[in-house]
A and B are shown apart, each in its own frame.
Chain A
Amino acid sequence: MIPQTFAYKKAHTIDEALALLRAHGDDAKLLAGGHSLIPLMKLRLSTPELLIDIGGIRELTEIREQDGRIELGALVTHRMIEFSTLLKQKCPVLPEAAALIGDPQVRNKGTIGGSLAHADPAADYPAVMLALDAEIEATGPDGSRTIAAREFFQGLFTTALRPDEMLTRVRVPAMPPRSGAAYLKFPNPASRYAVVGVAAFVKLAPDDTCAEVRIGITGAAPAAFRATRAEEQLVGRAIDDRTLTAALEDLVDPDDLLSDLAATAEYRAHLCHVLTRRALRQAAERAHS
């Protein structure tokens, strides 16, 4: 459990980190909280020659409100999200999801940017990012660009980030009136990772039918995904048992899902159904109140 030797450099600014990334490309890795990367390095599944420690870049540790959105720096820890008064008021589903990650010690170190860039298929945030239609800011040599959450998660540990880019910020919407969101997960009893996790966002029209619906699912497939077929069937309808049964009929195809020691693809499909149903109901209830 001893990592391969590597060189270590601390970057104090985004520009310093980018310059190091550009110079060393594939041989370098960014180190934030380290709670995904260090375990992989101990197993020698990751053997970078250079670690660029971005943990000291102060400007990426803030949570602030801007233009109706909440902006989180990449280095905001799960614990800061869990206890953020601003997020609890404006976007409570994010602190709720953060509180379900790992354990308190892990949440003290792990960061939202690190988790998203690592793109573990069983991580919690991706489902929430998809349901909230979050924006992910990547900064590279030519400046910053915004990536929509639905474009970001591309496959197993694979994102839309380019090798010379770093994830710098995440923007989630403040919840609009008559909207609600919920995140539910079935955790692996040992690791607390999601065997399946489902985030739902519902915005109600004046007649209590769904004006907007988004469903993000993590843990089930090689990458988190939006259940767009079900979303389309729910728009314009009120959330009740009959509507849910009809809309969730084709929610997922077990052929697309993961099978492992924790759960077969068929069981994951079952969990997707149960959790999506509950998450949509909870989101709709919150939208009403």
Chain B
Amino acid sequence: MKVRVRKVNPVKALFKTGGGVMRHTIQVTVNGQTHQVEVESRMLLVELIRDVLGLTGTHVGCDTSQCGACTVHVNGEAVKSCTMFAVQADGCEITTIEGLAQDGQLHPLQEGFWQEHGLQCGFCTPGIIMAAADLLKRNPNPSEDEIRHALEGNYCRCTGYHNIVRAIQYAAARMRGEAVVPRGEAAPTGAS
């Protein structure tokens, strides 16, 4: 690998790069709303979402493509928005955690995390919900093992994933149209 660290004069670079420019006007549709924004080439998608569009539900955890807190959907697929330049999203449809609830109704995954206590501090939750939404689209009835594998790209440092898995199972059952009784409301068993 070639390792080069050197200073670039941006004006000079402009001349050298054959019309490639440092600033770009892009169009993105985020949670159904279309925005036209000017971005610098090196702006990350997560910076556009949080700092420009003000949607701070998407979090920055590690900034190194590991933790998954920044997961959003780009054209329907879960991606880590800290590892994509905003300019690459030109023309794309983006969904963030703010776009999941419809008409004031929580998405089944949001409801599942609420009912099954799927979070403690909540920092990882938006990313985990977006990753889980991608899983349930491909696999409406995942096993516990499949759920845990699907969360390999998301770190929770509070709960140990136990209730997160339950929350996703809850949502999967709801989305398959099955009646679900949250554990907290189920009749107590084994009581004397």
* In contact, B134 and A5 (Cβ under 8 angstroms): no
Within 8 A of A (CB), among B135-176: 135, 138, 150, 152-154
Interface residues on B, range: 35 or more
State which of B27-35, B80-88, B104-112, B118-126 sits at the interface with chain A. Answer: B80-88
State which of B64-72, B94-102, B179-187 sits at the interface with chain A. Answer: B64-72
Residues of A within 8 A of B65 (CB): 35, 38-39, 106
Within 8 Å of chain A (Cβ to Cβ): is B1? Answer: yes
A8-B20 contact in complex given A47-B5, A102-B153, A108-B77, C-beta closer than 8 Å? yes
Within 8 Å of chain A (Cβ to Cβ): is B40? Answer: yes
Chain A contact residues: over half helix, strand or loop, or mixed? Answer: mixed
Within 8 A of B (CB), among A57-109: 79, 83, 102-106, 108-109
* In contact, B10 and A5 (Cβ under 8 angstroms): yes
* In contact, B16 and A24 (Cβ under 8 angstroms): yes
Residues of B within 8 A of A23 (CB): 18
State which of A48-56, A145-153, A211-219, A260-268 sits at the interface with chain B. Answer: A48-56
Residues of B within 8 A of A103 (CB): 68, 152-154
Instruction: Select A34's contact among B40, B71, B84, beta carbons within 8 Å.
Output: B84
Q: Give bound CA distance, A23 to B17, whole Å.
A: 8
Q: Give bound CA distance, A1 to B61, whole Å.
A: 12
Residues of B within 8 A of A106 (CB): 65, 80, 153
* In contact, A104 and B83 (Cβ under 8 angstroms): no
* In contact, A38 and B78 (Cβ under 8 angstroms): no
Residues of B within 8 A of A46 (CB): 1-4
Within 8 Å of chain B (Cβ to Cβ): is A288? Answer: no
Within 8 A of B (CB), among A157-176: 157-158
* In contact, A8 and B21 (Cβ under 8 angstroms): yes
* In contact, A50 and B85 (Cβ under 8 angstroms): no
* In contact, A104 and B42 (Cβ under 8 angstroms): no
* In contact, B40 and A5 (Cβ under 8 angstroms): yes
Within 8 Å of chain A (Cβ to Cβ): is B53? Answer: no
Instruction: Select B152's contact among A41, A44, A50, A192, beta carbons within 8 Å.
Output: A192
A7-B22 contact in complex given A35-B83, A105-B79, A108-B79, C-beta closer than 8 Å? yes
Within 8 A of B (CB), among A15-35: 20, 23-24, 26-28, 31, 34-35
Report B12-47 CB contacts with A as 1/0, cut-off 8 Å.
Answer: 011011111110100000000000000011100000
Residues of B within 8 A of A53 (CB): 87-88
Q: Give bound CA distance, A9 to B88, whole Å.
A: 10
Within 8 Å of chain A (Cβ to Cβ): is B131? Answer: yes
Cβ distance B131 to chain A, nearest Cβ, rounded Å: 7
Within 8 Å of chain B (Cβ to Cβ): is A229? Answer: no
* In contact, B64 and A7 (Cβ under 8 angstroms): no
Q: Give bound CA distance, A102 to B18, whole Å.
A: 35
Report A236-266 CB contacts with B as 1/0, cut-off 8 Å.
Answer: 0000000000000000000000000000000
Within 8 Å of chain A (Cβ to Cβ): is B63? Answer: yes
* In contact, B18 and A24 (Cβ under 8 angstroms): yes
* Smallest Cβ-Cβ distance to A4: which chain B residue: B8
* Smallest Cβ-Cβ distance to A3: which chain B residue: B42
* In contact, A104 and B78 (Cβ under 8 angstroms): yes
12 further A-B contacts with Cβ under 8 Å, apart from A2-B42, A4-B8, A38-B84, are A5-B22, A8-B21, A39-B64, A42-B63, A42-B64, A46-B2, A47-B5, A50-B17, A83-B138, A104-B153, A106-B65, A109-B80
Question: Can you give 22 A-B contacts (C-beta < 8 A)?
Answer: A5-B40, A6-B8, A7-B14, A7-B17, A7-B21, A8-B20, A8-B21, A8-B41, A10-B90, A31-B88, A34-B84, A39-B64, A45-B1, A45-B5, A49-B17, A51-B20, A104-B131, A105-B71, A105-B131, A108-B77, A108-B134, A109-B80
**Chain A residues with a Cβ under 8 A of chain B:** 1-10, 20, 23-24, 26-28, 31, 34-35, 38-39, 41-42, 44-47, 49-53, 55, 79, 83, 102-106, 108-109, 156-158, 190-192
**Chain B residues with a Cβ under 8 A of chain A:** 1-6, 8, 10, 13-14, 16-22, 24, 40-42, 63-66, 68, 71, 77-80, 83-85, 87-88, 90, 131, 134-135, 138, 150, 152-154
The 9 closest A-B pairs by CB, nearest first: A103-B153, A7-B20, A157-B1, A7-B17, A9-B20, A8-B41, A103-B152, A50-B17, A108-B77
